[in-house]
């Protein structure tokens, strides 16, 4: 997860977290 957050912009972190939760990860 740290790798992903390091690549994407901070503003998209929440969107990714929501996507992961929606995917059941």
Residue spans of alpha helices (H) in 1-25: 2-7, 13-23
* 8 three-state secondary structure: coil
Nearest residue to 1 (alpha-carbon basis) of 18, 17, 15, 21: 17
Q: Is the pTM of this model over 0.85?
A: no
Question: Under a CB-based contact definition with an 8 Å cutoff, are residues 4 and 16 in contact?
Answer: yes
In this prediction, residue 4 has a pLDDT band, given cuts at 50, 70 and 90, of low
Q: Place 19 in a pLDDT band, splitting at 50, 70 and 90.
A: confident
As a whole number, mean pLDDT of residues 1-25 equals 74
Segment 5-15 mean pLDDT: 71
């Amino acid at each position: 997860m740290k790798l992903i957050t390091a690549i994407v912009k901070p503003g998209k972190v929440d969107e990714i977290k929501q996507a992961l939760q929606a995917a059941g990860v």
